[in-house]
A and B are shown apart, each in its own frame.
Chain A
Amino acid sequence: MTVAEQVRPTALPLTMASAAVRALAWCEARRLLRHPAVLVSLALCLTVWAYPTASGLTEYPVLHEEDQVLQLELLLPAAGVLLASHMAVVRAAREGTAAWLATLVLTPAQRVAAHLLALLPVVALVATLAGIRFCWLALLPGAVSSPSAAELATGPALVLITGALGVLIGTVTRSIAAGPITLVVLGLVTIAEALFGYMASPWRRLDLIDSDFGSGDSLPAELMDRPAELHLLYLLLLTIAFGALALLRSGHRGRVVSGTAVLALVGVIATGAAQLRPLPESVSAARKRAEEAPAALHTCVRKGVVTYCAFPEFIDRHRQWSQITDGIVRRVPDSARPEPITVRQRLAPITTPGPGVVVEARPNRWAEDDRRAGTPGAVSVGTHWGNGSDAADDDVSGYATALARRIIEGPSEANGEAVCGGRGILTVWLAGQATKESESAIRSLLVRHYGMVIGFGGMLETTAVESPDVNLALKLLDRPADEVGEVVERHWDKLTHPATTSAQAARILDVPPPAAIDSTEKSIYSCPH
């Protein structure tokens, strides 16, 4: 005589489309949408969206980057859905109803199928919220470029895959701690990658998100080397594998599900392996071209005496650049109005940080590229914009000071060298008074600054001005711009003369003279005194 056994789950065909499974899926979906973990994670995500928006930090989005940022942000609801879906699956075991439910018509596999289907409305909600968020970003006057459909779809796919993972874990263990432990493990893996530099490795692509923060610069989309479609397919196959394994774990023994699990796992391995390839030579060569000789890749727009040249997806940024240009040019007397100027977008050195990687010095081939393009002495501008980050501040202040310098000095290829005396003070004041953003960017730079010479433009190194001259310019920025502008216009020739010292300029502008520089603090970039 054998030992009595529990009734095994029925191995009936899994009628996924059956009305009962759908009804249960709706029931579970409603519970999932009301689950505290989901609500809290959604609230956190909305806060993450709202705070920088309210603070004006996201006025100039680059849409082919924002679609990746969105994935990071959607990890919050993904985590919430993982916890909630796992708790939903183990609910019966935890609350003592499992034995009872086992005698009802729907089989455990059908219940698991309903849990999987219940993820879809949550994913739809997250996708809708993310879509609204992204449309809002795209409609901002400062938005440039266009997103990748695969990158956009990856965000909601993350919610789907973590939900399916939660369901799978629930079929493996009844422990309520399994969900949070899984989250912690996923978090630790991410932190470990960041700490140990695996970001530089293609292995990072086997994570949920391809966290490619490598370049440190805002790149044209074709230089980013993100196999977004492949990664999305990888995630979807992994989701299918999780779902099929959960069904098998719940007692389903159908061939279709078993076959699907095997095929999905094979697909996961194939798409995972395909993502592990190194940086393609073509992308590497394209990056080098874009970095050293961008003129051939640029699209140009002329506005007044200024021609703005940029990588095609960034060309709309000329609207923001021209605001700075207009703000500077209006302070220049008619007699000194500039000759035609070209503004050219540049990329800082493209590097992928990691163990043993040294960031190279800026390749100074731009002058040669400008000459070849017939635009010698073009003013450099970066790929970031706004006051949302140090990089953006650097690019705003870098462009503003570079343009002011160009107008004061005339055509020059002397990027990065210090602007001295009255010219230095005038350069910073002209740049700062141009727009609120340029003033904010300059002030932000000073907070981060150390040393006697302040370099503008970040990695582009457009301009350098001695610290006392910058401080004097900031004092001028505290005064009404029109009042200072009137003095500047009157004394333009004197202030822009290379022999005019800072002290002389201070007298003209009626501000206390700058402090003398301690000789021990002078550097090779300092001005001759």
Chain B
Amino acid sequence: MKPPPPAPLATDTGAAAEPVSPGASTSVQGLTVRFRGTLALDGVSLTLSTGVIGLLGPNGAGKTTLLRILATALVPDRGELRILGRNPLVPTERQEIRRRLGYLPQTPGFHRQFTAFEFVDYIAILKEHTERAARHEEVRRVLAAVGLSEERGKKMKSLSGGMRQRVTLAAALIGEPELLILDEPTVGLDPEQRLRFRDLIAEFASDRTVLLSTHQTEDVTALCHRVVVLEAGRVRCDETPEGLCEIARGRVWFGEDRDPSAIAGWRTRARTYRNIGTPPPGAELAEPTLEDAYLLLNSTPDGAAE
């Protein structure tokens, strides 16, 4: 099978894969953040729209920094920022954003002596859910959504890591936020729980925006209508998952051994090698996955369109 001509790699154009919908109200333009001389974000521009948007990138690419800015935890050095139609640099508007925002940090922490219910209830209070009966109803709802109704009376310190992760996810879901920002939320979840998570987020995102930072490309494939790849503080690619996969079309092939010319290669269950890069003539091409495309993107210099 002759490989088709490889698609050019996307570069930081600042353009979303989908046209900006009139209702989309979260956007960043030219975001720049520097930590002690290190450029964490370098002119990032994005517009978030309804649905699940995956955020991929290697460690240190700036994903968490971007999420923290969108979660109003961090102020950028430069750039324009609108979150849910408001300016987070204005204190009153920032509070309004926080009322409508759900954020699950990478390492959220937990209060050891709280029960799962108490912890989520505590977060709900901090999100200004003041009416007690309604708040407790909401807490029960989100705990049920993450499958922890039975464990709600258990102390956080006695829960497994995966259960704690689900509790914190439940806390992020309090109040059905218009914008949900999740930083590696599936870490520690077993396969069954990951499926449940996908169901939950897919349903949640039907009329809301979810920004999902993860290293799990399967989650992105399953959930996201759009993928943003960050690299070294810049948007390397902003595509649909299918579009991103197309980048790798014609660049993935099977071989008896790891091809020395391949950018990446690994042994598969069928004892053949799956290689990514520029295939040799006559190579047996494989159907590309999002992971292939992501690896290819990460291994190729920015702008190295072939």
29 inter-chain pairs at a CB distance below 8 angstroms, sorted by A residue, are A1-B32, A3-B34, A4-B33, A4-B75, A6-B73, A6-B75, A7-B73, A7-B74, A7-B88, A7-B94, A10-B91, A12-B92, A20-B126, A24-B126, A92-B111, A95-B112, A96-B109, A100-B103, A100-B108, A103-B71, A103-B72, A103-B101, A103-B103, A103-B105, A104-B123, A105-B95, A105-B99, A105-B127, A105-B128
User: Would you call A1 and B95 a contact (CB within 8 A)?
Assistant: no
**Chain A residues, Cβ within 8 Å of B33:** 4
A524 in the interface (beta carbon within 8 A): no
User: Would you call A4 and B34 a contact (CB within 8 A)?
Assistant: yes
- 4 closest A-B pairs by CB: A96-B109, A19-B130, A97-B109, A104-B126
List residues of B (64-96) whose CB comes within 8 Å of A's CBs.
65, 71-78, 88, 91-92, 94-95
Please judge, given known A-B contacts A4-B40, A24-B125, A105-B99, whether A99 and B73 are in contact too, CB under 8 Å.
yes
List residues of A (1-17) whose CB comes within 8 Å of B's CBs.
1-7, 10-12
List residues of B (99-143) whose CB comes within 8 Å of A's CBs.
99, 101, 103, 105, 107-113, 121-123, 125-132, 135
Minimal beta-carbon separation of A96 from chain B (angstroms):
3
Encode contact with B along A419-436: 1 for CB under 8 Å, 0 otherwise: 000000000000000000
**Chain A residues, Cβ within 8 Å of B71:** 103
CA–CA, A11 to B91, complex, Å?
7
A106 in the interface (beta carbon within 8 A): yes
CA–CA, A99 to B110, complex, Å?
11
Minimal beta-carbon separation of A213 from chain B (angstroms):
40
A102 in the interface (beta carbon within 8 A): yes
B269 in the interface (beta carbon within 8 A): no
Which among A2, A22, A102, A103 has the highest number of chain B CB atoms within 10 Å?
A: A103
**Interface size class, chain A:** 20 to 34
User: Would you call B94 and A10 a contact (CB within 8 A)?
Assistant: yes
User: Would you call B125 and A12 a contact (CB within 8 A)?
Assistant: no
A336 in the interface (beta carbon within 8 A): no
B36 in the interface (beta carbon within 8 A): yes
List residues of A (76-105) whose CB comes within 8 Å of B's CBs.
91-92, 95-105
**Chain B residues, Cβ within 8 Å of A111:** 126
**Chain B residue, CB-CB nearest to A114:** B125
**Chain A residues, Cβ within 8 Å of B194:** none
User: Would you call B95 and A23 a contact (CB within 8 A)?
Assistant: no
**Chain B residues, Cβ within 8 Å of A91:** 111
A27 in the interface (beta carbon within 8 A): yes
Minimal beta-carbon separation of B65 from chain A (angstroms):
8
Minimal beta-carbon separation of A147 from chain B (angstroms):
38
Minimal beta-carbon separation of A136 from chain B (angstroms):
34
**Chain A residues, Cβ within 8 Å of B107:** 96
**Chain A residue, CB-CB nearest to B111:** A95
**Chain B residues, Cβ within 8 Å of A106:** 125-128
**Chain B residues, Cβ within 8 Å of A105:** 95, 98-99, 126-128
User: Would you call A100 and B128 a contact (CB within 8 A)?
Assistant: no
Checking A23, A95, A98 against B125 with a beta-carbon cut-off of 8 angstroms, the contacting residue is A23
User: Would you call A27 and B122 a contact (CB within 8 A)?
Assistant: yes
Minimal beta-carbon separation of A116 from chain B (angstroms):
16
Residues of A within 8 A of B (CB): 1-7, 10-12, 19-20, 22-24, 27, 31, 91-92, 95-106, 111
**Chain A residues, Cβ within 8 Å of B99:** 105
Checking B75, B103, B125 against A5 with a beta-carbon cut-off of 8 angstroms, the contacting residue is B75
Checking A10, A12, A95, A101 against B126 with a beta-carbon cut-off of 8 angstroms, the contacting residue is A101
Residues of B within 8 A of A (CB): 32-36, 40, 65, 71-78, 88, 91-92, 94-95, 98-99, 101, 103, 105, 107-113, 121-123, 125-132, 135
Minimal beta-carbon separation of A21 from chain B (angstroms):
9
Minimal beta-carbon separation of A20 from chain B (angstroms):
4
CA–CA, A105 to B109, complex, Å?
18
Minimal beta-carbon separation of A413 from chain B (angstroms):
70
User: Would you call B95 and A4 a contact (CB within 8 A)?
Assistant: no
Minimal beta-carbon separation of B64 from chain A (angstroms):
11
Checking B73, B110, B113, B131 against A103 with a beta-carbon cut-off of 8 angstroms, the contacting residue is B73
User: Would you call A12 and B35 a contact (CB within 8 A)?
Assistant: no
Minimal beta-carbon separation of B181 from chain A (angstroms):
9
**Chain A residues, Cβ within 8 Å of B72:** 7, 103
**Chain B residues, Cβ within 8 Å of A96:** 107-110
Minimal beta-carbon separation of B38 from chain A (angstroms):
10
**Chain B residues, Cβ within 8 Å of A10:** 91, 94-95
CA–CA, A312 to B32, complex, Å?
81
**Chain A residues, Cβ within 8 Å of B77:** 1-4
User: Would you call B121 and A27 a contact (CB within 8 A)?
Assistant: yes
Which among A11, A100, A102 has the highest number of chain B CB atoms within 10 Å?
A: A100
**Chain B residue, CB-CB nearest to A35:** B113
User: Would you call B128 and A20 a contact (CB within 8 A)?
Assistant: yes
**Chain B residue, CB-CB nearest to A102:** B73
CA–CA, A97 to B168, complex, Å?
10
Q: A103-B103, A105-B127, A111-B126 are in contact. List 18 more A-B contacts (CB 8 A).
A: A1-B32, A2-B34, A3-B34, A3-B36, A3-B77, A4-B65, A6-B75, A7-B94, A10-B91, A19-B131, A20-B130, A31-B113, A96-B108, A100-B105, A100-B108, A100-B109, A105-B99, A106-B125
Minimal beta-carbon separation of A153 from chain B (angstroms):
31
User: Would you call A20 and B109 a contact (CB within 8 A)?
Assistant: no
Please judge, given known A-B contacts A97-B109, A101-B126, whether A12 and B74 are in contact too, CB under 8 Å.
no
**Chain B residues, Cβ within 8 Å of A1:** 32, 34, 77-78
Which among A4, A92, A95, A106 has the highest number of chain B CB atoms within 10 Å?
A: A4
CA–CA, A390 to B303, complex, Å?
94
Minimal beta-carbon separation of B185 from chain A (angstroms):
13
**Chain A residue, CB-CB nearest to B73:** A103
**Chain A residues, Cβ within 8 Å of B94:** 7, 10
Minimal beta-carbon separation of A3 from chain B (angstroms):
6
Minimal beta-carbon separation of B135 from chain A (angstroms):
8
**Chain A residue, CB-CB nearest to B174:** A104
CA–CA, A106 to B208, complex, Å?
23
CA–CA, A100 to B71, complex, Å?
9
**Chain A residues, Cβ within 8 Å of B95:** 10, 12, 105
CA–CA, A95 to B129, complex, Å?
23
CA–CA, A140 to B127, complex, Å?
52
